């Protein structure tokens, strides 16, 4: 296991450094996800499954280094449900980013935490404060700002898929919460990644026949996206394993929303309605901070 004391709660520079790595890795990875799906031959469903298996392998290696152990039997129902939700959500996200811009998807994906908040309030009886309600409203406003054009709200299939993905991820996080109460995060990541990949293939069995061929022709941008995502996830969980509060590192990570919009404008030329995108990203980020 990782020895405690490598990072202490009072060592602001250490957790801040990992927070910056998390933000940069997640923001940059979003660009490579878009580049991977820009390939006309790329299949969103197969790509989503391949991503999860790469995530499972890489995070599994890290987990074995720090000390892996399997989840207890009573946790498996939550793992299976969460894997199915992440599977549907992941496919929705990959299908969405093939149709809309990376900056749009990033802002819309912030709506997932709004779903988590509502589900937790209804089914877990968690307290819902006025500050959290304000945060939820800001997230909705941020999404509306991004989807609004001069001719009205542009609610196309890409945006609908992004919202579906956000909803699935938002509900999955609630089930993750049950698991992570008694199970460490480093072991959980590879387990849930493999379960998600398997869930995708179960939902789309026809893809199994061509899966081996798809791996042989894997898009290099998809590999880079997967590696960067693992780096971001590791930078997120490592400080937590050393005692840094989840809310602290998680809230800081929301800056990735704004950074993704800026980087997408620079490197992917996603500059149309850039003012609205930045405003939407800022509203969403503030909303998530308030909810956290």
**Apex 180 CA angle, 177 and 181, nearest 5:** 85
First to last CA, the chain: 29
Does the pLDDT at position 152 exceed 60? no
Predicted confidence at residue 3, as pLDDT, reads 43
Whether pTM exceeds 0.75: yes
Predicted confidence at residue 153, as pLDDT, reads 58
Neighbouring CB atoms inside 10 A of 150's CB total 6
Does the pLDDT at position 123 exceed 90? no
The arithmetic mean of pLDDT across residues 216-226, rounded, is 93
C-alpha span between 276 and 32 (Å, rounded): 23
pLDDT band at 5 (very low <50, low <70, confident <90, very high): very low
Predicted confidence at residue 79, as pLDDT, reads 96
**Which of 105, 125, 223 is CA-nearest to residue 165?**
105
Burial class of residue 264, CB neighbours in 10 A (0-12, 13-18, 19+): buried
**Apex 13 CA angle, 113 and 29, nearest 5:** 45
- Can you read off the two tokens belonging to residue 141? 């406003």
The arithmetic mean of pLDDT across residues 273-279, rounded, is 90
The arithmetic mean of pLDDT across residues 159-179, rounded, is 91
Q: Which of 7-16, 59-68, 185-194 has the lowest mean pLDDT?
A: 7-16
Type and span of the H or E element at 280: helix 274-291
Predicted confidence at residue 62, as pLDDT, reads 94
Q: Phi-psi bin for 69: left (phi > 0), alpha (psi -120 to 50), beta?
A: beta
Predicted confidence at residue 47, as pLDDT, reads 96
């Amino acid at each position: 296991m990782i020895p405690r004391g490598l990072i202490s709660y009072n060592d602001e520079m250490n957790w801040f450094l990992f927070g910056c790595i998390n933000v940069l890795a997640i923001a940059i990875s979003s660009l490579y996800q878009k580049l991977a799906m820009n390939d006309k031959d790329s299949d969103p469903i197969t790509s989503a499954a391949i991503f999860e298996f790469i995530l499972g392998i890489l995070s599994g290696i890290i987990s074995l280094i720090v000390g892996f152990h399997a989840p207890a039997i009573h946790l498996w129902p939550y793992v299976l449900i969460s894997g199915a939700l992440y599977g549907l959500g992941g496919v929705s996200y990959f299908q969405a980013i093939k149709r809309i811009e990376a900056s749009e998807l990033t802002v819309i994906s912030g709506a997932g935490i709004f779903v988590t908040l509502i589900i937790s309030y209804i089914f877990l009886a968690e307290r819902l404060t006025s500050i959290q309600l304000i945060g939820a409203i800001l997230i909705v406003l941020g999404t509306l700002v991004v989807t609004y054009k001069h001719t009205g709200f542009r609610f196309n299939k890409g945006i609908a898929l992004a919202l579906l993905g956000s909803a699935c991820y938002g509900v999955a996080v609630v089930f993750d919460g049950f698991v992570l109460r008694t199970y460490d995060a480093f072991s959980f990541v590879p387990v849930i990644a493999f379960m998600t990949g398997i869930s995708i293939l179960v939902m789309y069995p026809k893809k199994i026949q061509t899966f081996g061929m798809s791996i042989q022709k894997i898009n290099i941008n998809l590999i880079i996206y997967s590696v960067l995502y693992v780096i971001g996830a590791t930078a997120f969980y490592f400080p937590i394993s050393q005692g840094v509060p989840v809310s602290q590192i998680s809230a800081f990570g929301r800056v990735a929303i704004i950074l993704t919009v800026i980087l997408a404008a620079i490197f992917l030329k996603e500059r149309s309605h850039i003012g609205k995108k930045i405003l939407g990203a800022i509203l969403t980020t503030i909303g998530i901070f308030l909810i956290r």
